[in-house]
Amino acid sequence: MRVRVDLDRRGYDVVVAEGARHELAVAVAATGARRAAIVTTPAIVAQPWFDVDPGVAYELVMVPDGEAAKSLTVVERVAESLARMELSRRDVVVSVGGGATTDLGGFVAAVYARGVAVIHVPTSLVAQVDAAIGGKTGVDLAAGKNLVGAFHQPSTVLCDTETLSTLPLREWRSGWGEVAKCWLLQGGRADALGGATIEERTLSAVRLKADLVARDEREGGPRALLNYGHTLGHALEAAALARDPDELRHGEAVAIGLGFAARLARTVGRVGDDVVDETVAVLRELDLPTAVPAGMAVDELLAFMARDKKATHDLTFVLPGASGFEVVHDVPAEAVTVTLNEMMVGR
């Protein structure tokens, strides 16, 4: 299956298929590149399915696994490797790995030689349904995640569902959180989700992201709907980080945030019980969490959610309503508190 991200001259295909990685040589040939730098990690190279063939001369450029790749130090090291192999502006960077690897590979491609083509071969569910699509690339600073980055659309994205065969359970759950978000944003029902294959679930998320990116490449409008579940999700991640960095994967936090957003919409009178029940059913179908972890305090979460921690009136959420999903500003802190209390475990 091919999904087009329709951005005129910068448009591209996202291929979702078993064995999609074998289309790499065709995708590289379409860029006209004569050599390729394949940015990947030792953990990915060790997988039984790792057999990428770009069809042109290439070198593997190894980066650390996971979030550790997303630093300016690694950007410099990778760029030096590209320079050493005399990669020119007409050549191509290929990233193979999870979202951290595609974010880093995409960013190096955005800045090396003032921009070279990049092809993503995302291998985690998060990367296939989210990170590798849409052109957001970047690395972290000590001050926060993704604070240095660029928009740089890939030439092709190859989502090979075969690579998911080795994905650890926790990483699946993280991906399912984003899939649940996309399913709900499209009005999908829990019973239909239960009957859908992995490819169908992935495709549904890819289609939504491709559509929103095509309509709003730089997130000035409808692309912001992809933040559904993320206001509380980010707060939960921040609170978890302070006590155990391994406690919540991003998608798990988003899942709790999705349940919260539906309940909050009910609290402020935008939707009825049916929307909350259907949201929880979708989360349960994917075996995702629905309650705020025990021991997290309402005040702490409120503080993380408020953009300006002193001005809690400025709480912004993506919420469902009679006319669909919308970005809603200035949600009253009392409504947020009441709803959070509904979701607390162990009190």
Ligand X SMILES: NC(=O)c1ccc[n+]([C@@H]2O[C@H](COP(=O)([O-])OP(=O)(O)OC[C@H]3O[C@@H](n4cnc5c(N)ncnc54)[C@H](O)[C@@H]3O)[C@@H](O)[C@H]2O)c1
Binding site for ligand X (CB under 6 A): 41, 43-44, 47, 65-67, 70, 97-101, 103, 123-124, 126-127, 130-131, 134, 136, 145-146, 163-164, 166-167, 171, 174
Query: Annotated catalytic, 285?
Result: no
Q: How far is the CB of 226 from ligand X (least distance, A)?
A: 9
CB 225 within 8 A of CB 185: yes
Q: How far is the CB of 330 from ligand X (least distance, A)?
A: 27
Nearer to ligand X, 225 or 340 (CB): 225
For residue 219, count CB atoms less than 10 angstroms from its CB and return exposed for 0-12, middle for 13-18, buried for 19 or more. middle
Locus of tokens 């990947």:
40
Q: How far is the CB of 344 from ligand X (least distance, A)?
A: 27
Query: Annotated catalytic, 120?
Result: no
Alpha-carbon span 243 to 252, nearest angstrom: 16
Choose, from 120, 173, 209, 263, the residue flagged as catalytic. 209
Choose, from 219, 247, 326, 342, the residue flagged as catalytic. 219
Q: How far is the CB of 343 from ligand X (least distance, A)?
A: 24
Query: Annotated catalytic, 223?
Result: yes
In order, the DSSP letters of 171-214 are: HHHHHHHHHHHHHHHTT--HHHHHT--HHHHHHHHHHHHHHHHH
Choose, from 234, 249, 263, 266, the residue flagged as catalytic. 234
Residue type, 299: D
Query: Annotated catalytic, 22?
Result: no
In order, the DSSP letters of 114-163 are: G--EEEEEE-SHHIIIIITSSSEEEEEETTEEEEEEEE---SEEEEEGGG
Nearer to ligand X, 157 or 203 (CB): 157
Nearer to ligand X, 92 or 132 (CB): 132
Q: How far is the CB of 47 from ligand X (least distance, A)?
A: 5
Query: Annotated catalytic, 219?
Result: yes
Query: Annotated catalytic, 84?
Result: no
Q: To 10 degrees, what angle do helices 169-185 and 273-285 make? A: 150
Q: How far is the CB of 105 from ligand X (least distance, A)?
A: 11
CB 288 within 8 A of CB 252: yes
Alpha-carbon span 347 to 176, nearest angstrom: 28
Query: Annotated catalytic, 341?
Result: no
Query: Annotated catalytic, 234?
Result: yes
Query: Annotated catalytic, 70?
Result: no
Alpha-carbon span 134 to 91, nearest angstrom: 21
Alpha-carbon span 261 to 319, nearest angstrom: 6
Nearer to ligand X, 179 or 265 (CB): 179
SS3 333: helix
Query: Annotated catalytic, 146?
Result: no
Nearer to ligand X, 29 or 72 (CB): 72
- Residue positions annotated with a catalytic role: 114, 136, 178, 209, 219, 223, 227, 230, 234, 250
